[in-house]
């Protein structure tokens, strides 16, 4: 790689690391032109790699440029920041992507950008990269484009036809926070861009038309740059899932940046807070929980226990759950029981009554499950045990508590 390109890569990969909103799950393989196109994901040696919180680690994740006209206070690339600056041409991004893809070091591209000249100009540059990759080089790998909210709907629609996933960052949990810390951004434009993508997805599905951002859209919220609490954050996420059918909301703990302005904190929030938000989000997407249930009596998620256990301890009236009678969604609310285990138990109980040994054979942490269940031959001894005592006994730190379930 030419030295100049390599220097740019150092600057622009570093500048992109604060964006959490990329994951390559959820997109089908591109196969419209058979199995021979460059980078077809059904080829050998291409793998997708995820961190425990779902972040994809096999994408080339870069900014087109970290020059920016805007001065968002929480961002290291803001206009007033003194970071080293660099800018790729679209052709350079294409060259880098293809060369890393051919070496199997990446499975796709995540491309974002600071705003240069205008929103439309910047978006056109991002779209040009995707167009060159798809049309000129028949690239079948994964493409995630960050959408510039103020860009024209036509450009956003073209991006949707080229990319596997689009994202528009909501940035902060409240409109007031965004207005205070990023006054050049416009909340209305962010919603309009999300709606344009949402409508594109719906229209393509209705027509049975060719793909339109088949991995859907995602967004990112920065946690801890303003004083929004978890209650506000989860309700905002819930509205975004409902209004725009987002695939994912990503939560990114604010990282203090060199020469931070006084308007943002000097210290980051606890990383465990970000982790608990991901767990709560997972419960909302996959387990039927509502934000108002998870935070019915408090504004912040507990840091010391996961939100499912916290809900169960707050709602002892629903437990113990009889695994031979309960509805599947109630079984899934048992701490320590994931959906896979619930499906196994449902299948099993079609054949016979579920016994304690059946639960013990599941891949679950038994001492978290047993206080909350009844089986044919088991009922928890301390049916009336106080929630505080139960919480204490279950709250012995163990590595499994860091897993989602």
Q: Which residues bind ligand SF4 (CB under 6 A)?
A: 68, 70, 72, 75, 77-78, 114-115, 182
Nearer of residues 114 and 214 to ligand SF4, judged by Cβ: 114
Cβ–Cβ under 8 Å, residues 25 and 136: no
Nearer of residues 115 and 374 to ligand SF4, judged by Cβ: 115
Nearer of residues 168 and 182 to ligand SF4, judged by Cβ: 182
Whole-number minimum distance, CB 23 to ligand SF4, in Å? Answer: 20
**CB burial readout 156-185, b (16+ within 10 A) else e:** bbbbbbbbbbbbbbbbbbbeebbeebbeeb
Q: Which residues contact 143 (CB under 8 A, 6 or more apart)?
A: 108, 109, 111, 130, 133, 134, 162, 163, 164, 165
35 preceded by a cis bond (ω within 30 of 0): no
Nearer of residues 27 and 123 to ligand SF4, judged by Cβ: 123
Nearer of residues 19 and 306 to ligand SF4, judged by Cβ: 19
Nearer of residues 52 and 183 to ligand SF4, judged by Cβ: 183
Whole-number minimum distance, CB 222 to ligand SF4, in Å? Answer: 9
Whole-number minimum distance, CB 252 to ligand SF4, in Å? Answer: 12
Whole-number minimum distance, CB 255 to ligand SF4, in Å? Answer: 13
Our CA angle for 53, 59, 61, nearest 5°, is 95
Cβ–Cβ under 8 Å, residues 339 and 287: yes
User: What is the spatial distance between Cα 159 and Cα 284, in angstroms, rounded to a whole number?
Assistant: 29
Cβ–Cβ under 8 Å, residues 82 and 33: no
Whole-number minimum distance, CB 338 to ligand SF4, in Å? Answer: 36
Whole-number minimum distance, CB 182 to ligand SF4, in Å? Answer: 6
Whole-number minimum distance, CB 65 to ligand SF4, in Å? Answer: 9
Cβ–Cβ under 8 Å, residues 338 and 282: no
21: phi then psi, degrees, rounded to nearest 5: -85, 50
Nearer of residues 182 and 312 to ligand SF4, judged by Cβ: 182
């Amino acid at each position: 790689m030419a030295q100049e390109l390599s220097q740019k890569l150092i600057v622009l990969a570093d500048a992109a690391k604060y964006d959490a909103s990329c994951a390559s799950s959820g997109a089908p393989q591109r196969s419209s032109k058979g199995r021979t196109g460059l980078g077809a994901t059904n080829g050998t040696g291409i793998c997708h790699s995820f961190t425990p919180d779902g972040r994809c680690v096999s994408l080339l994740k870069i900014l087109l440029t970290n020059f920016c006209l805007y001065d968002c206070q929480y961002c290291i690339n803001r206009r007033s920041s003194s970071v080293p600056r660099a800018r790729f041409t679209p052709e350079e991004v294409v060259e880098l992507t293809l060369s890393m893809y051919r070496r199997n070091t990446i499975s796709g591209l995540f491309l974002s950008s600071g705003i240069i000249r205008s929103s439309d100009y910047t978006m056109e540059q991002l779209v040009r990269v995707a167009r060159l990759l798809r049309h000129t080089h028949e690239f079948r790998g994964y493409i995630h484009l960050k959408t510039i909210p103020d860009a024209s709907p036509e450009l956003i629609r073209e991006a949707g036809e080229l990319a596997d996933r689009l994202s528009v960052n909501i940035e902060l949990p409240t409109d007031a926070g965004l207005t205070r810390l990023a006054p050049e951004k416009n909340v209305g434009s962010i919603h309009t861009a999300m709606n344009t993508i949402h409508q594109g997805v719906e229209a393509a599905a209705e027509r049975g038309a060719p793909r339109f951002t088949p991995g859907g859209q995602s967004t990112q919220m920065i946690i801890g740059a303003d004083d929004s609490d978890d209650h506000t954050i989860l309700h905002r996420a819930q509205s975004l899932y409902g209004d725009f059918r987002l695939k994912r909301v990503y939560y990114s703990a604010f990282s203090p940046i060199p020469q931070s302005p006084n308007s943002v904190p000097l210290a980051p929030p606890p990383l465990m807070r970000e982790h608990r938000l991901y767990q709560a989000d997972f419960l909302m997407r996959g387990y039927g929980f509502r934000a108002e249930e998870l935070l019915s009596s408090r504004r912040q998620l507990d840091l010391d226990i996961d939100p499912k256990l916290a809900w169960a301890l707050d709602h002892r009236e629903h437990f113990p759950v009889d695994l031979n009678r309960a509805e599947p969604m109630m079984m899934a609310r048992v701490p320590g029981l994931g959906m896979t285990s619930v499906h196994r138990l449902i299948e099993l109980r079609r054949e016979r009554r579920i016994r304690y040994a059946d639960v013990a054979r599941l891949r679950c942490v038994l001492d978290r499950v047993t206080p909350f269940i009844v089986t044919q031959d088991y009922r928890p001894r301390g049916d009336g045990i106080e929630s505080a005592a139960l919480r204490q006994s279950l709250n012995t730190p163990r590595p499994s508590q860091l897993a989602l379930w």
